[in-house]
Copies of this chain bind each other. A is one copy, B any other.
């Protein structure tokens, strides 16, 4: 900046002010400085700037799904979530620091904040970390989470309206005259357990006698859901006539497994997935599913966190869910 000041024949503070569009500098001078800076390809050193300003304009995004392990979610819907976050941040001139799973514990999070690498956190997928995230938030960390919470959750949560999603699936099954439901999903995740509760609610609201069987899908991949379905089919006498799966991927796996066992979809069993990933519409049979809008959710995460950093209280929100009826 000294160099630019010399070339523009002004002082360093004037260059600084010109570049940050301060009203304290004469418009003519400003133009001149900007031209000189551009001509010499000068860009403000962000480290010095951040050091002085005590602000980084960087948001850390924890993507727990990003893992090589079998257990990773590869649902494209995560992509849309990340796309929403990324684009919204870009528009606000905020940088996005992507945190590997390896760094996803309290100490690592705290470290990022105290070493002034990022100003706040967006956590995509709270998983089983509600306790740790709660502690972190109560400790004053700017934090916004994609997931599901309760009235007591001490941080801002944006998530699908899982309960409503569960109800939609339940009502759909009831319309189809189904009565032996299978819920496939790991209810130790709050998101999933809310869907289960919604399904239950729909069943309870009907005057009919409905059974709900639970099958804990502990992993997220196609493979594991397929294995789970096959193992399940070995153990039962009478198959369910409706399946609500925690994801479209899992729904596909279940459909494949059931068909392999001579159980036809949708004649013998109705199936509802979750997320409405693109291939759900092109699977055979095309899958009935619950759609949400992850891109908008991503944007909402950003606006809430940015508000929080400016001292405006963020507001948790549930994203609308919609039943997309296809052939299953």
- What chain B residues lie within 8 Å of A101 (beta carbons)? 87
Cβ contact within 8 Å between A98 and B100: no
Across the interface, A61 reaches (CB within 8 A) one of B89, B98, B117, namely: B98
Does A115 contact B222, Cβ atoms closer than 8 Å? no
**What's the least CB distance linking A266 to chain B, in Å?**
15
CB of A13 closer than 8 Å to a CB of B: no
B98 A278 Cβ-Cβ under 8 A? no
Q: How far is the CB of A238 from chain B (nearest CB, A)?
A: 25
Decide: A114 and B222 in contact? CB cutoff 8 A: no
**B residues in contact with A253, CB < 8 Å:** 282
Residue of B nearest to A249 (CB): B279
Are the C-beta atoms of A41 and B256 separated by less than 8 Å?
A: no
A284 cross-chain contacts in B, Cβ below 8 A = 256, 259, 284
CB–CB B66/A86 < 8 A: yes
Q: Which residue of B lies closest to A298 (CB)?
A: B68
* A177 CB-CB contact with B under 8 Å: no
At the interface, yes or no: A207 with Cβ under 8 Å from chain B?
no
Is B95 a contact partner of A89 (Cβ separation < 8 A)?
Answer: no
Size of A's binding interface in residues, CB under 8 A: 63
Residues in B whose Cβ lies below 8 Å from that of A295:
68
Q: How far is the CA of A45 from the CA of B115 in the complex (A)?
A: 4
Hey, what's the 0/1 contact readout for A271-285 against B, CB within 8 Å counting as 1?
000000111011110
Option from B79, B95, B115, B222 in Cβ contact (under 8 Å) with A97 = B95
Decide: B68 and A80 in contact? CB cutoff 8 A.
yes
- A71-102 with Cβ < 8 A to chain B: 72, 74, 76, 78-80, 82-84, 86-87, 89-91, 95-102
> Judging by beta carbons under 8 Å apart, are A72 and B83 in contact?
yes
Of A102, A252, A282, the most chain B CB neighbours within 10 A belong to A282
Residues of B within 8 A of A111 (CB): 43
With A and B bound together, what is the CA distance between A99 and B259 in angstroms? Answer: 43
Apart from A43-B115, A87-B101, A223-B278, list 11 A-B contacts with CB within 8 A: A41-B110, A43-B114, A46-B115, A66-B86, A89-B100, A90-B103, A95-B97, A222-B278, A249-B279, A252-B279, A256-B284
A-B contacts, 12 listed (Cβ < 8 Å)? A45-B116, A47-B50, A47-B51, A66-B83, A66-B86, A67-B87, A74-B80, A87-B102, A222-B282, A249-B278, A259-B284, A279-B279
